[in-house]
């Protein structure tokens, strides 16, 4: 069972609109265990739509089409598909009444081109639209299914699960497979190094497929298993995940839908501990990430972005002569920043980041990307030095990642290496 995706619209091939429907539909089909053969976008063009349908159906059992079902002159999808299969159009009176009803309810001016939205190829099954005027339809031709819905993303979000999936399940009952997916999120290894580390794993023997997805500064490994018995599929992907976890252990920080900031927020909230953050080179990004988590006000007492030395003295109590002697980007300064913010905020923990994001600011001993991160809990202060090598924005991003990871490891009692 392979499904092809065809999105139709001049706005797509001109780059005016980002096509988000293809990706959404591909995700939904993958979750069902139905691989997508290909995705294609063409303009509102009769000949190209016919040609595309032929190409896609030659390598797929079904095609799901979005777009071109509206009332305007360039909405030609229903007519083009009818012609592609040598079918006439018919006007569905029930659908027409429904559309007229919407116009009356919202006191919209009726124009006759709206009736076009009630025209379908003969033999089509109507797919109702619960959130708009244009209905969809499904056709069966030579054992293949053609399902067509409007291209408005919020209509696709409803009509795909409520209208299209039930038809595909009914027409292809033999492919009601179960699918299990496990995502393993790593930090600190390049994509090539992840691949190399897992080279001795044999996906075919394990009965899974494996994918690598870089998502700077993270690398995600996705394991997928499919089959008829739900528990067997789950245990197959579970066994494969164990193999990956044992090989990448110290680089793994999260699984599936978890995020680093989400985990830090969760552990802090569970422990009832409070946090204050002193940022320099990350410029507020660590705090921005933490405050994306609803409820972060429960643990985040305050943060300061101390770009100037005066702010480091005033807000963190870093001695001016320490800044003079070691520099703002140094281990002693990072430690005092963490201790200072903790003490002044009266929190359980203090986290501090100071470094050189670039492009300017490097010294002879300290190249761009030199970053010190310190974590104080009142008994001890941990400090790590990093040497990153990216541009300004990515040095900020990777520094925020390293800081949140240090905090996460502290909260879970994992060993920091080095």
Phi, psi dihedrals of residue 403, rounded to the nearest 5°: -70, -45
- Residue closer to a second copy by CB (options 47, 231) is 47
- Residue closer to a second copy by CB (options 27, 91) is 27
Cα–Cα distance, 270 to 25 (Å, whole number): 37
**Residues within window 326-385 making contact with a second copy, judged by CB under 8 A:** 344-346, 357-361
Beta bridge partners of 209: 224
Contact residue for a second copy among 86, 173, 272, 294 (CB under 8 A): 294
Q: Are 59 and 52 in contact (CB under 8 A)?
A: no
- Residue closer to a second copy by CB (options 207, 361) is 361
Binding-site residue total for a second copy (CB under 8 A)? 99
| Closest distance to a second copy from the beta carbon of 398 (Å) | 13
Instruction: Please enumerate in sequence order all residues whose Cβ is within 8 A of that of 173, keeping only pairs 6 or more positions apart, or say none.
Output: none
* 162: DSSP letter: I
| Closest distance to a second copy from the beta carbon of 122 (Å) | 25
- Residue closer to a second copy by CB (options 332, 367) is 367
- Residue 240 within binding range of a second copy, rule CB under 8 A: no
Where does this chain touch a second copy (CB under 8 A) — which range of 90-98, 165-173, 229-237, 307-315? 307-315
Which H or E element spans position 98? helix 93-105
- Residue closer to a second copy by CB (options 15, 143) is 15
**Residues within window 183-212 making contact with a second copy, judged by CB under 8 A:** 190-193, 195-196, 211-212
Cα–Cα distance, 284 to 303 (Å, whole number): 8
- Residue 29 within binding range of a second copy, rule CB under 8 A: yes
Contact residue for a second copy among 77, 114, 330, 381 (CB under 8 A): 114
Q: By rule CB under 8 A, what string of x and - marks binding of each residue 38-77 to a second copy?
A: xxxxxx----x--xx--x---x----------xxxxx---
Reported as half-sphere exposure (CB side, CA atoms, 13 A), residue 328 has a value of 21
Q: Which conformational region is residue 363 in: left (phi greater than 0), alpha (psi within -120 to 50 degrees), or beta?
A: beta
Written as six digits, the tokens of 239 are: 């066994």
Where does this chain touch a second copy (CB under 8 A) — which range of 22-30, 82-90, 168-176, 246-254? 22-30
- Residue closer to a second copy by CB (options 111, 380) is 111
Reported as half-sphere exposure (CB side, CA atoms, 13 A), residue 413 has a value of 1
Cα–Cα distance, 221 to 184 (Å, whole number): 5
Cα–Cα distance, 95 to 73 (Å, whole number): 20
- Residue 148 within binding range of a second copy, rule CB under 8 A: no
């Amino acid at each position: 069972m392979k499904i092809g995706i065809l999105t139709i619209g001049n706005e797509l091939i001109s780059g005016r609109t980002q096509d988000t429907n293809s990706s959404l539909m591909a995700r939904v089909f993958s979750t069902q265990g139905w691989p997508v053969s290909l995705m294609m976008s063409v303009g509102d063009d009769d000949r190209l739509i016919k040609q595309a349908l032929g190409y896609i159906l030659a390598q797929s059992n079904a095609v799901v089409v979005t777009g071109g079902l509206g009332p305007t002159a360039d909405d030609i999808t229903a007519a083009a598909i009818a012609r592609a299969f040598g079918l006439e159009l018919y006007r569905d009176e029930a659908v027409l009444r429904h559309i007229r009803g919407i116009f009356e309810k919202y006191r919209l001016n009726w124009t006759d081109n709206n009736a076009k939205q009630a025209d379908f190829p003969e033999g089509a099954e109507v797919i109702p639209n619960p959130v708009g005027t244009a209905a969809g339809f499904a056709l069966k031709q030579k054992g293949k299914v053609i399902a067509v819905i409007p291209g408005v993303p919020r209509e696709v979000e409803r009509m795909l699960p409520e209208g299209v999936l039930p038809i595909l399940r009914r027409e292809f009952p033999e492919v009601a497979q179960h699918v299990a997916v496990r995502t393993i999120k790593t930090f600190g290894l390049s994509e090539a190094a992840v691949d190399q580390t897992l080279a001795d794993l044999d996906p075919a023997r394990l009965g899974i497929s494996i994918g690598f997805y870089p998502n700077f500064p993270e690398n995600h490994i996705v394991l997928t298993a499919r089959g008829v018995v739900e528990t067997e599929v789950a245990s197959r992907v579970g066994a494969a995940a164990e193999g990956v976890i044992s090989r990448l252990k110290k680089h793994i920080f999260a699984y599936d839908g978890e995020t680093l900031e989400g985990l830090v927020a969760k552990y802090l909230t569970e422990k009832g501990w409070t946090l204050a953050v002193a940022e320099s080179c990350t410029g507020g990004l660590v705090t921005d990430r933490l405050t994306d988590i609803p409820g972060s006000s429960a643990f985040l007492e305050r943060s300061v972005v101390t770009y100037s030395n005066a702010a480091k003295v005033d807000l963190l109590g870093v001695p001016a002569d320490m800044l003079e002697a070691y520099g703002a980007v140094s281990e002693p300064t990072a430690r005092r920043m963490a201790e200072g913010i903790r003490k002044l905020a009266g929190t359980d923990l203090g986290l501090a980041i100071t470094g050189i994001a670039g492009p300017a600011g490097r010294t002879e001993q300290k190249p761009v990307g030199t970053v010190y991160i310190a974590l104080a809990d009142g008994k001890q202060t941990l400090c790590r030095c990093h040497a990153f090598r990216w541009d300004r924005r990515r040095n900020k991003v990777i520094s925020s990642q390293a800081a949140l990871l240090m905090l996460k490891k502290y909260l879970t009692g994992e060993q920091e290496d080095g």
